[in-house]
Amino acid sequence: MNDIMKETLEHKHLAHLEALQAAYDRLLATHGFDGVLIYSGHPQRHFADDQHASFATYGHFMHWVPLHGLDHSWLLVRAGQRPKLQLHAPTDFWHLGTTLPDEAWVDAFEIARVDTPTPPGLPAGRYAVLGDVDEQTARSLGAELNPPTLTQALDEGRVRKSAYEIDCLREANRRAIHGHRAARDAFFDGGAELDIQLAYLGASRQRESDLPYQSIVGLNQHAAVLHYQHYELVAEADHRSLLIDAGHRYRGYAADITRTWAGGDASDAFAGLIEGVTTIQHNLIREMGPGVDYPTLHARMHQGLGELLGELGVVRCSAPAAVEQGITRAFCPHGLGHLLGLQVHDVAGRQTADGTALPPPAEHPALRLTRTLEAGMVVTMEPGCYVIPMLLDPLRETPAGGDIDWAAVEALAPHGGVRIEDNVLVTDQGAENLTPTL
User: What is the Cα–Cα distance from 177 to 210, expressed in whole angstroms?
Assistant: 16
User: What is the Cα–Cα distance from 144 to 139, expressed in whole angstroms?
Assistant: 8
Task: Provide the annotated binding site for Mn(2+).
Answer: 245, 256, 338, 382, 421
User: What is the Cα–Cα distance from 3 to 101, expressed in whole angstroms?
Assistant: 24
User: What is the Cα–Cα distance from 350 to 359, expressed in whole angstroms?
Assistant: 6
Residues 6+ apart with CB under 8 A from 383: 277, 280, 281, 284, 301, 304, 305, 332, 336, 419, 420
Give Rg (Cα) of the chain: 24
Residue spans of the chain under pLDDT 50? 1-6
- Can you give 174-235 as a three-state secondary structure string? HHHHHHHHHHHHHHHCCCCHHHHHHHHHHHHCCCHHHCCCCCEEEEHHHHHCCCCCCCCCCC
What pLDDT score does 1 carry? 37
Instruction: Express each pLDDT in 219-269 by its tens digit.
Output: 999 999 999 999 999 999 999 999 999 999 999 999 999 999 999 999 999
What pLDDT score does 7 carry? 67
User: What is the Cα–Cα distance from 247 to 201, expressed in whole angstroms?
Assistant: 10
CATH classification code of 9-157: 3.40.350.10
Task: Provide the annotated binding site.
Answer: 245, 256, 338, 382, 421
Query: How many residues in the chain?
Result: 438
What pLDDT score does 97 carry? 87
| Furthest C-alpha separation in the chain | 72
Q: Give me the residue spans of the domains in the chain.
A: 9-157, 163-433
Eight-class DSSP state of 396: G
Q: Name which CATH class applies to 163-433.
A: alpha beta
User: What is the Cα–Cα distance from 128 to 130, expressed in whole angstroms?
Assistant: 6
3-state helix, strand, coil in the chain (%, to 5): 40, 20, 45
What pLDDT score does 3 carry? 47
Whole-prediction pTM: 0.96
Eight-class DSSP state of 177: H
User: What is the Cα–Cα distance from 151 to 145, expressed in whole angstroms?
Assistant: 10
Instruction: Express each pLDDT in 150-172 by its tens digit.
Output: 999 999 999 999 999 999 999 99
Neighbours of 120 (CB within 10 A): 15
